[in-house]
Amino acid sequence: MAIGIMTSGGDCAGMNPAIKQFVDYCFDKDEKPYLIYDGLEGLIDDLIEPASFEDVAGIMHEGGTIIRSSRSKRFFEYDYRKQAFENLQKHGIDKIVILGGDGSFRALNQFHKDFGINFVGIPATIDNDIFGTDYCLGVDTALNIIRQATDAVRDTSSSFKRACVIETMGRDCGYLALVSAITCGAEICIIPELDYDLDLIGQRLKKEIENGRKYVVCIVAEGCNHDKCTNTNQLVKWLEEDIGIETRATILGHVQRGGNPTVFDRLMASRFVTYAVDKLLLDEICTNVLVYKDSKFEFISIEYVNSKKYKIDEELLDLARRLVN
Ligand code: F6P
Protein backbone atom coordinates (compact mmCIF):
# COMPACT_ATOMS: atom_id res chain seq x y z
CA MET A 1 0.00 0.00 0.00
CA ALA A 2 1.16 3.54 -0.75
CA ILE A 3 1.37 6.80 1.14
CA GLY A 4 0.09 10.25 0.13
CA ILE A 5 0.69 13.81 1.24
CA MET A 6 -1.74 16.71 1.20
CA THR A 7 -1.92 20.31 2.39
CA SER A 8 -5.18 21.67 3.78
CA GLY A 9 -6.60 24.95 5.06
CA GLY A 10 -4.55 28.16 5.09
CA ASP A 11 -1.23 27.59 3.32
CA CYS A 12 2.10 28.61 4.80
CA ALA A 13 5.79 28.74 3.99
CA GLY A 14 7.43 25.41 4.76
CA MET A 15 4.81 23.32 3.01
CA ASN A 16 6.94 22.94 -0.14
CA PRO A 17 10.08 21.85 1.73
CA ALA A 18 7.83 19.34 3.54
CA ILE A 19 6.48 17.98 0.25
CA LYS A 20 10.00 17.67 -1.14
CA GLN A 21 11.27 15.82 1.93
CA PHE A 22 8.21 13.55 1.80
CA VAL A 23 8.92 12.44 -1.76
CA ASP A 24 12.70 12.13 -1.30
CA TYR A 25 12.34 10.23 1.97
CA CYS A 26 9.67 7.84 0.64
CA PHE A 27 11.95 6.93 -2.29
CA ASP A 28 14.79 6.38 0.19
CA LYS A 29 12.57 3.96 2.05
CA ASP A 30 11.37 2.22 -1.15
CA GLU A 31 7.86 3.52 -0.61
CA LYS A 32 5.68 4.86 -3.40
CA PRO A 33 4.78 8.52 -2.66
CA TYR A 34 1.60 10.14 -3.96
CA LEU A 35 0.70 13.82 -4.18
CA ILE A 36 -2.89 14.71 -3.35
CA TYR A 37 -3.69 18.05 -5.00
CA ASP A 38 -6.19 20.70 -3.76
CA GLY A 39 -6.44 19.37 -0.21
CA LEU A 40 -9.64 17.58 0.84
CA GLU A 41 -11.37 18.77 -2.33
CA GLY A 42 -8.78 16.92 -4.42
CA LEU A 43 -9.29 13.78 -2.38
CA ILE A 44 -12.96 13.89 -3.38
CA ASP A 45 -12.23 14.78 -7.02
CA ASP A 46 -9.40 12.24 -7.43
CA LEU A 47 -6.65 14.80 -8.00
CA ILE A 48 -4.14 12.22 -6.88
CA GLU A 49 -0.89 11.53 -8.74
CA PRO A 50 2.15 9.35 -8.13
CA ALA A 51 5.10 11.62 -7.32
CA SER A 52 8.44 11.75 -9.10
CA PHE A 53 11.71 13.45 -8.16
CA GLU A 54 11.02 15.97 -10.94
CA ASP A 55 7.72 17.01 -9.35
CA VAL A 56 9.53 18.33 -6.30
CA ALA A 57 12.78 19.54 -7.85
CA GLY A 58 13.59 23.19 -7.15
CA ILE A 59 10.70 23.84 -4.73
CA MET A 60 12.66 24.07 -1.47
CA HIS A 61 12.81 27.87 -1.56
CA GLU A 62 9.26 28.48 -2.74
CA GLY A 63 6.43 29.69 -0.52
CA GLY A 64 2.89 28.34 -0.80
CA THR A 65 2.24 24.72 -1.69
CA ILE A 66 2.77 23.21 -5.13
CA ILE A 67 -0.02 20.71 -4.41
CA ARG A 68 -2.34 23.61 -3.49
CA SER A 69 -4.87 23.72 -0.66
CA SER A 70 -8.57 24.16 0.03
CA ARG A 71 -11.15 24.48 2.76
CA SER A 72 -13.71 21.80 1.96
CA LYS A 73 -17.35 21.91 2.94
CA ARG A 74 -18.12 18.76 0.94
CA PHE A 75 -15.84 16.62 3.10
CA PHE A 76 -18.32 17.04 6.00
CA GLU A 77 -20.70 14.82 4.04
CA TYR A 78 -20.33 11.05 4.28
CA ASP A 79 -21.04 10.45 0.59
CA TYR A 80 -18.14 12.68 -0.49
CA ARG A 81 -15.85 11.04 2.05
CA LYS A 82 -16.86 7.67 0.58
CA GLN A 83 -15.98 8.95 -2.88
CA ALA A 84 -12.61 10.10 -1.49
CA PHE A 85 -12.01 6.68 0.03
CA GLU A 86 -12.79 4.93 -3.26
CA ASN A 87 -10.29 7.22 -5.00
CA LEU A 88 -7.59 6.29 -2.50
CA GLN A 89 -8.40 2.59 -2.91
CA LYS A 90 -7.97 2.91 -6.66
CA HIS A 91 -4.43 4.22 -6.11
CA GLY A 92 -3.67 1.75 -3.32
CA ILE A 93 -3.16 4.51 -0.72
CA ASP A 94 -3.94 3.74 2.92
CA LYS A 95 -1.77 6.30 4.69
CA ILE A 96 -1.77 10.09 4.52
CA VAL A 97 0.48 12.84 5.82
CA ILE A 98 -1.63 15.97 6.15
CA LEU A 99 -0.27 19.45 6.76
CA GLY A 100 -2.81 21.90 8.12
CA GLY A 101 -4.72 22.98 11.20
CA ASP A 102 -6.88 21.16 13.74
CA GLY A 103 -9.97 21.37 11.50
CA SER A 104 -8.14 19.38 8.83
CA PHE A 105 -6.99 16.83 11.40
CA ARG A 106 -10.56 16.42 12.67
CA ALA A 107 -11.71 15.81 9.10
CA LEU A 108 -9.15 13.03 8.63
CA ASN A 109 -10.00 11.56 12.00
CA GLN A 110 -13.61 11.21 10.88
CA PHE A 111 -12.32 9.73 7.62
CA HIS A 112 -10.33 7.18 9.63
CA LYS A 113 -13.43 6.29 11.67
CA ASP A 114 -15.40 5.81 8.45
CA PHE A 115 -12.86 3.89 6.37
CA GLY A 116 -9.71 3.17 8.41
CA ILE A 117 -7.32 5.42 6.48
CA ASN A 118 -4.29 6.11 8.71
CA PHE A 119 -2.86 9.59 9.00
CA VAL A 120 -0.35 11.81 10.73
CA GLY A 121 -1.23 15.49 11.07
CA ILE A 122 1.58 18.04 10.92
CA PRO A 123 0.61 21.41 12.45
CA ALA A 124 1.07 23.97 9.69
CA THR A 125 -0.48 27.40 10.12
CA ILE A 126 0.95 30.86 10.61
CA ASP A 127 -1.59 31.37 13.44
CA ASN A 128 0.37 29.06 15.81
CA ASP A 129 -2.91 28.28 17.53
CA ILE A 130 -3.02 24.47 17.75
CA PHE A 131 -3.28 23.03 21.23
CA GLY A 132 -0.48 20.59 22.16
CA THR A 133 2.33 22.04 20.05
CA ASP A 134 4.69 24.92 20.73
CA TYR A 135 5.35 25.39 17.04
CA CYS A 136 3.39 25.20 13.80
CA LEU A 137 5.17 25.16 10.47
CA GLY A 138 5.24 28.55 8.73
CA VAL A 139 5.28 30.70 11.85
CA ASP A 140 8.95 31.65 11.68
CA THR A 141 8.64 32.78 8.07
CA ALA A 142 5.51 34.80 8.83
CA LEU A 143 7.24 36.46 11.78
CA ASN A 144 10.20 37.39 9.61
CA ILE A 145 7.90 38.90 6.99
CA ILE A 146 6.16 40.94 9.69
CA ARG A 147 9.55 42.02 11.09
CA GLN A 148 10.75 43.18 7.68
CA ALA A 149 7.51 45.07 7.01
CA THR A 150 7.46 46.66 10.45
CA ASP A 151 11.09 47.78 10.16
CA ALA A 152 10.22 49.41 6.83
CA VAL A 153 7.07 51.11 8.12
CA ARG A 154 9.01 52.37 11.15
CA ASP A 155 11.52 54.08 8.79
CA THR A 156 8.83 56.13 7.08
CA SER A 157 6.93 56.78 10.34
CA SER A 158 10.10 58.19 11.80
CA SER A 159 10.67 60.45 8.77
CA PHE A 160 7.21 61.99 9.23
CA LYS A 161 6.95 61.85 13.05
CA ARG A 162 3.93 59.61 12.67
CA ALA A 163 2.41 56.67 14.45
CA CYS A 164 1.76 53.44 12.57
CA VAL A 165 -0.70 50.73 13.39
CA ILE A 166 0.32 47.39 11.92
CA GLU A 167 -2.26 44.63 11.86
CA THR A 168 -1.07 41.04 11.74
CA MET A 169 -3.02 37.88 10.88
CA GLY A 170 -3.63 35.07 13.35
CA ARG A 171 -7.40 34.62 13.31
CA ASP A 172 -8.43 34.64 17.04
CA CYS A 173 -4.89 34.14 18.27
CA GLY A 174 -2.53 37.01 19.10
CA TYR A 175 0.72 35.04 18.84
CA LEU A 176 2.05 36.68 15.67
CA ALA A 177 1.26 40.17 16.96
CA LEU A 178 2.73 39.45 20.39
CA VAL A 179 6.06 38.07 19.17
CA SER A 180 6.28 40.81 16.54
CA ALA A 181 5.63 43.55 19.10
CA ILE A 182 8.37 42.16 21.35
CA THR A 183 10.91 41.63 18.58
CA CYS A 184 10.21 44.80 16.59
CA GLY A 185 10.35 47.09 19.60
CA ALA A 186 6.74 48.27 19.40
CA GLU A 187 5.35 50.79 21.85
CA ILE A 188 1.87 49.27 21.92
CA CYS A 189 0.67 45.66 21.52
CA ILE A 190 -3.04 44.94 21.34
CA ILE A 191 -4.01 41.25 21.31
CA PRO A 192 -7.04 39.34 22.61
CA GLU A 193 -4.92 37.56 25.25
CA LEU A 194 -3.72 40.67 27.09
CA ASP A 195 -5.82 43.21 28.97
CA TYR A 196 -4.81 46.73 28.08
CA ASP A 197 -5.53 50.19 29.40
CA LEU A 198 -5.70 52.87 26.71
CA ASP A 199 -5.72 55.68 29.31
CA LEU A 200 -2.45 54.51 30.80
CA ILE A 201 -0.93 53.86 27.36
CA GLY A 202 -1.99 57.38 26.36
CA GLN A 203 -0.37 58.98 29.42
CA ARG A 204 2.88 57.09 28.74
CA LEU A 205 2.92 58.03 25.06
CA LYS A 206 2.20 61.71 25.69
CA LYS A 207 5.08 61.88 28.16
CA GLU A 208 7.42 60.13 25.72
CA ILE A 209 6.39 62.42 22.86
CA GLU A 210 7.02 65.46 25.09
CA ASN A 211 10.45 64.01 25.79
CA GLY A 212 11.27 63.74 22.10
CA ARG A 213 9.76 60.49 20.83
CA LYS A 214 9.53 60.80 17.01
CA TYR A 215 7.28 57.92 16.09
CA VAL A 216 5.04 55.24 17.60
CA VAL A 217 4.77 51.63 16.48
CA CYS A 218 1.58 49.84 17.44
CA ILE A 219 1.00 46.18 16.59
CA VAL A 220 -2.51 44.83 16.70
CA ALA A 221 -3.82 41.32 16.13
CA GLU A 222 -6.49 40.51 13.55
CA GLY A 223 -8.29 38.77 16.45
CA CYS A 224 -9.13 42.22 17.91
CA ASN A 225 -11.72 42.80 15.21
CA HIS A 226 -14.69 42.31 17.56
CA ASP A 227 -16.67 44.55 19.93
CA LYS A 228 -14.69 43.74 23.09
CA CYS A 229 -11.33 44.82 21.67
CA THR A 230 -9.90 47.95 20.05
CA ASN A 231 -9.33 47.26 16.38
CA THR A 232 -7.02 48.88 13.83
CA ASN A 233 -9.38 51.68 12.76
CA GLN A 234 -10.28 52.55 16.33
CA LEU A 235 -6.60 52.69 17.28
CA VAL A 236 -5.82 55.03 14.39
CA LYS A 237 -8.65 57.32 15.48
CA TRP A 238 -7.51 57.21 19.11
CA LEU A 239 -3.88 57.97 18.24
CA GLU A 240 -4.89 60.91 16.05
CA GLU A 241 -7.62 62.38 18.25
CA ASP A 242 -6.52 61.54 21.81
CA ILE A 243 -2.76 61.45 21.46
CA GLY A 244 -2.55 64.00 18.68
CA ILE A 245 -0.15 62.18 16.41
CA GLU A 246 -0.68 61.70 12.68
CA THR A 247 -1.22 57.98 12.10
CA ARG A 248 -1.29 55.50 9.23
CA ALA A 249 -2.54 51.90 9.25
CA THR A 250 -0.94 48.94 7.48
CA ILE A 251 -2.92 45.74 7.33
CA LEU A 252 -0.32 43.16 6.37
CA GLY A 253 -2.80 40.50 5.21
CA HIS A 254 -1.76 37.63 2.99
CA VAL A 255 1.87 38.68 2.47
CA GLN A 256 2.36 36.94 5.82
CA ARG A 257 1.29 33.61 4.35
CA GLY A 258 3.69 33.55 1.39
CA GLY A 259 7.36 34.14 0.73
CA ASN A 260 10.50 32.00 0.84
CA PRO A 261 10.54 29.72 3.86
CA THR A 262 13.21 30.58 6.42
CA VAL A 263 15.99 28.12 7.24
CA PHE A 264 14.14 27.24 10.45
CA ASP A 265 10.93 26.39 8.59
CA ARG A 266 12.82 24.34 5.98
CA LEU A 267 14.53 22.34 8.71
CA MET A 268 11.35 21.91 10.72
CA ALA A 269 9.56 20.75 7.57
CA SER A 270 12.16 18.04 7.02
CA ARG A 271 12.08 16.92 10.62
CA PHE A 272 8.27 16.88 10.89
CA VAL A 273 7.88 14.87 7.69
CA THR A 274 10.58 12.32 8.48
CA TYR A 275 9.00 11.53 11.86
CA ALA A 276 5.55 11.38 10.27
CA VAL A 277 6.54 8.94 7.52
CA ASP A 278 8.45 6.70 9.96
CA LYS A 279 5.39 6.55 12.21
CA LEU A 280 3.03 5.67 9.38
CA LEU A 281 5.35 2.92 8.16
CA LEU A 282 5.64 1.48 11.66
CA ASP A 283 2.11 1.61 13.08
CA GLU A 284 -0.78 -0.51 11.93
CA ILE A 285 -3.27 2.05 13.17
CA CYS A 286 -2.32 5.68 13.28
CA THR A 287 -4.45 8.79 13.86
CA ASN A 288 -1.87 11.02 15.46
CA VAL A 289 -0.79 14.61 15.37
CA LEU A 290 2.95 15.18 15.44
CA VAL A 291 3.81 18.08 17.71
CA TYR A 292 6.92 19.98 18.74
CA LYS A 293 6.77 20.45 22.48
CA ASP A 294 9.57 21.55 24.81
CA SER A 295 12.06 21.21 21.91
CA LYS A 296 11.08 17.58 21.24
CA PHE A 297 8.89 15.87 18.64
CA GLU A 298 6.03 13.87 20.06
CA PHE A 299 2.91 12.10 18.77
CA ILE A 300 -0.34 13.02 20.48
CA SER A 301 -3.91 11.92 19.90
CA ILE A 302 -6.39 14.01 17.97
CA GLU A 303 -8.68 13.85 21.02
CA TYR A 304 -5.96 15.53 23.08
CA VAL A 305 -5.50 18.25 20.45
CA ASN A 306 -9.24 18.88 20.54
CA SER A 307 -9.52 18.74 24.32
CA LYS A 308 -8.35 22.31 24.98
CA LYS A 309 -7.87 25.70 23.38
CA TYR A 310 -4.31 26.80 22.61
CA LYS A 311 -2.97 29.33 25.12
CA ILE A 312 0.05 31.56 24.64
CA ASP A 313 2.84 30.90 27.12
CA GLU A 314 2.59 33.22 30.17
CA GLU A 315 6.31 34.00 30.08
CA LEU A 316 5.94 35.31 26.52
CA LEU A 317 2.88 37.38 27.52
CA ASP A 318 4.85 38.87 30.41
CA LEU A 319 7.43 40.24 27.98
CA ALA A 320 4.75 42.47 26.44
CA ARG A 321 2.95 43.62 29.59
CA ARG A 322 4.73 46.97 29.58
CA LEU A 323 3.22 47.58 26.11
CA VAL A 324 -0.37 47.40 27.34
CA ASN A 325 -0.42 50.15 29.91
O1 F6P B 1 -5.44 30.47 9.30
C2 F6P B 1 -4.56 31.23 8.55
C3 F6P B 1 -5.18 32.54 8.17
O4 F6P B 1 -4.26 33.26 7.39
C5 F6P B 1 -5.66 33.42 9.34
O6 F6P B 1 -4.62 34.10 9.97
C7 F6P B 1 -6.66 34.31 8.67
O8 F6P B 1 -7.63 34.75 9.57
C9 F6P B 1 -7.25 33.42 7.61
O10 F6P B 1 -6.35 32.34 7.40
C11 F6P B 1 -7.50 34.07 6.29
O12 F6P B 1 -8.14 33.18 5.46
P13 F6P B 1 -8.31 33.37 3.89
O14 F6P B 1 -6.99 33.07 3.24
O15 F6P B 1 -9.35 32.38 3.53
O16 F6P B 1 -8.71 34.79 3.67
Q: 175 and 90 in one domain?
A: no
Evaluate whether 99 touches 260 at the Cβ level (below 8 Å).
Answer: no
Instruction: Determine which residue's CA is closest to atom 3 belonging to ligand 1.
Output: 10
Residue nearest to atom 1 of ligand 1 (CA): 10
pLDDT tens by residue, 42-58 = 999 999 999 999 999 99
Q: What would the mean pLDDT of 278-304 be, rounded to a whole number?
A: 97
From 257, 277, 296, give the residue that closes a domain.
257
Q: Where is the domain boundary, 231, 257, 283?
A: 257
**Which pLDDT does position 253 carry in this prediction?**
98
- Tell me which of 94, 102, 127, 265 is the catalytic residue: 127
Same domain, 291 and 236: no
* Per-residue model confidence (pLDDT) at position 162: 98
> Is residue 185 located within the same domain as residue 146?
yes
Which residue owns the Cα nearest ligand 1 atom 15? Answer: 10
Q: Is residue 50 situated within a structural domain? A: yes
324 Cβ contact list (under 8 Å, min separation 6): 188, 189, 190, 194, 195, 196, 197, 201
Mutate to test the pocket of ligand 1, among 7, 15, 129, 257 (most ligand atoms within 8 A of CB): 257
- Residues 7, 124 within the same domain: yes
Give the mean model confidence (pLDDT) for residues 122-130: 98
DSSP structure class, residue 137: B
Residue 11 lies in a domain: yes
In a domain, residue 166? The reply is yes
Ligand 1: does its nearest atom lie under 6 Å from the Cβ of 138?
no
Same domain (yes/no): 21, 99: yes
pLDDT band (50, 70, 90) for residue 186: very high
Q: Is residue 323 part of a domain?
A: no
Does a structural domain hold residue 314?
Answer: no
Q: Is residue 312 part of a domain?
A: no
Q: Which atom of ligand 1 is least distant from the CA of 71?
A: 15
130 with 310: CB under 8 angstroms?
yes
Q: Is 127 in the pocket of ligand 1 (CB under 6 A)?
A: yes
- Mean per-residue pLDDT for 68-82? 98
Question: How would you class 32 by CB atoms within 10 Å of its CB: exposed for 0-12, middle for 13-18, buried for 19 or more?
Answer: middle
Is the domain of 19 the same as that of 123? yes
Q: Which long-range contacts (CB under 8 A, 24 or more apart) does 266-271 make?
A: 266/14, 266/17, 266/60, 268/14, 268/135, 268/137, 268/140, 268/292, 269/14, 269/15, 269/16, 269/17, 269/18, 269/21, 269/137, 270/17, 270/18, 270/21, 271/297
pLDDT, position 228: 87
| CATH number of the structural domain spanning residue 40 | 3.40.50.450
Show Cβ contacts of residue 172 under 8 Å, excluding neighbours closer than 6 positions.
Answer: 129, 192, 223
* Mean pLDDT score across all residues of the chain: 98
Please check whether residue 318 lies inside any domain of the structure: no
Q: Give me the domain span that covers residue 36.
A: 2-138+261-305
CATH number at residue 193: 3.40.50.460
Q: What percent of the chain has pLDDT over 70?
A: 100
For 279, phi then psi, to 5°, come to -65, -45
Q: Which residues contact 80 (CB under 8 A, 6 or more apart)?
A: 44, 74
Dihedral sign from CA coordinates of 281, 307, 319, 258: positive
Is 171 close to ligand 1, i.e. is its CB under 6 Å away? yes
Residue nearest to atom 8 of ligand 1 (CA): 171
The pTM of this model reads 0.98
Query: What is the CA(171)–ligand 1 centre distance, in A?
Result: 7
Number of domains observed in the structure of the chain: 2
Note if 127 is an active site residue: yes
Which atom of ligand 1 approaches the CA of 129 most closely? 1
How confident is the model at residue 176, as a pLDDT? 98
Check pLDDT > 90 for residue 37. Answer: yes
244 and 276 co-located in one domain: no
Question: What is residue 166's three-state secondary structure?
Answer: strand
- Are residue 41 and residue 122 in the same domain, yes or no? yes
pLDDT digits (tens, 9 = 90+) for 130-181: 999 999 999 999 999 999 999 999 999 999 999 999 999 999 999 999 999 9
Same domain, 57 and 200: no
Examine residue 169 and state whether it is found in any structural domain, yes or no. yes
pLDDT, tens digit, 9 for 90 and up, residues 90-120: 999 999 999 999 999 999 999 999 999 999 9
CA distance 186 to 238: 17
Give tens-digit pLDDT for 212-260. 999 999 999 999 998 889 999 999 999 999 999 999 999 999 999 999 9
257 in contact with ligand 1, CB cutoff 6 A: yes
Cα(196) to centroid(ligand 1), Å: 25
Predicted confidence band at 306 (pLDDT cuts at 50, 70, 90)? very high
* CB of residue 42 inside a 6 A radius of ligand 1: no
Same-domain pairing of 134 and 14: yes
Q: Is the CB of 188 under 6 A from ligand 1?
A: no
Query: What is the model's pLDDT at position 264?
Result: 98
Task: Mark whether 133 and 278 lie in a shared domain.
Answer: yes
Q: How far is ligand 1, taken at its centre, from the CA of residue 145, in Å?
A: 16
- Tell me, yes or no, whether 229 and 265 share the same domain: no
- Among candidate residues 237, 257, 277, the one where a domain is terminated: 257
